[in-house]
Amino acid sequence: MQNTLKIVGIQTDLVWENAQQNISFFEEKINDLERTVDLIVLPEMFTTGFTIHPERVAEKMNGFSVLWMQKIARNKQVAICGSLVISDNDTYYNRLIFVHPSGAIETYNKRHSFTLAKEDKVYTSGTKKIIIEYKGWKICPLICYDLRFPVWARNTENYDLLIFMANWPAPRVKAWKTLLKARAIENMSYVIGVNIIGKDANDYAYSGNSLIIDYLGTKISSLQKNEAGIISATLEKNKQDTIRKKLGFLNDMDSFKIDYSK
């Protein structure tokens, strides 16, 4: 088990529905990172922007973008994750791909479709929350709108790191920052939230404000409005475990069951 985990999130503008250009940009940024990074977090739909036209951009699990992620993971010996528009069995998913340094893949399909943008009309929602085990850390990866639903993120698995990747609009950035802090505090977990900046083809604006927060809600790393760059931190599992044991808040949580039919 590894006590420390060096994580990086990349915040940037995205070229609309252009996987080649976006991947070229991310590869350049990744090549500039320190060799000691353990985990790289990319935004939601990092090759396309938040599109509701999956038929124009969808890839298979053996497509260009997933193969690129595997190449980066193997060559850099780093884990990398981000969400993509994936076509699987004639169904479209907003799918988070987590690639281990070995090239092994784990996936999570976004549970909460953003009905305001009609995401639910074109993408199939996921029904399974996953916990990824990596270097002795338990990681819970979620996507954008999932942030608004604390029951889905509730730390019943004793995870150590909660990931949110997003295309979160600028008019609601106050909610983004507030809810990231809330998820960290209520789950006593490190949280990283990676958002984008700029405007998309529909003229929706995104203001970034990517964050890394500790288990008590303290900001560790951040980027400001419309600032391209990276957030980074070295997380310490022993410190988090010590505070959890001392305070015992997670021991007092309510039990519940999730109704997947809704």
Where are any strands of DSSP class E within 71-110? 79-88, 91-99, 105-109
Please, which residues have CB within 8 angstroms of residue 174's CB and are 6 or more apart in sequence?
A: none
| Chain centre distance of CA 185 | 18
Catalytic residue among 59, 110, 129, 237: 110
Catalytic residue among 119, 140, 144, 181: 144
Catalytic residue among 17, 44, 106, 119: 44
Phi/psi of residue 249, nearest 5 degrees: -60, -40
Where are any strands of DSSP class E within 118-187? 132-134, 137-143, 161-165
Q: What is the dihedral of CA 54, 105, 74, 56, to 10 degrees?
A: -10
Burial class of residue 251, CB neighbours in 10 A (0-12, 13-18, 19+): exposed
Establish whether 44 is a catalytic residue: yes
The strand pair at 137-143 and 161-165 is best described as parallel
Establish whether 144 is a catalytic residue: yes
Give the active site residues. Answer: 44, 110, 144
